[in-house]
Amino acid sequence: MQFNSEGSWRPPVPGPPPDPTAAITAALAGLEGLDQLEPVEHVGRFDAVHTALTEALSSIDKV
């Protein structure tokens, strides 16, 4: 069974896995400007990037 990031079930998608390149690039863009933020704000930014990368990379294996 496959679940999305909200924990809801999603049926498998037929065909080849999607290319996650755009989602990875967008996730990494979330790190831009980090040097302009206070260190306390880094955690939230890192968490959001980690979540986006996890979703993008798990799409490769349709997990």
Per-residue pLDDT tens for 8-56?
666 666 666 667 888 899 999 999 999 999 999 999 999 999 999 998 8
4 versus 48: the higher-pLDDT residue is 48
Q: How far apart are CA 29 and CA 42, in angstroms?
A: 14
Exposure class string for 38-63: b at 16+ Cβ within 10 A, else e: eeeeeeeeeeebeebbeebeeeeeee
Say which DSSP state 7 is in. S
Q: Cβ distance 30 to 52 under 8 Å?
A: yes
Confidence at residue 7, expressed as pLDDT on a 0 to 100 scale: 56
Q: How confident is the model at residue 62 (pLDDT cuts 50, 70, 90)?
A: low
Task: Name 3's bridge partners.
Answer: 9
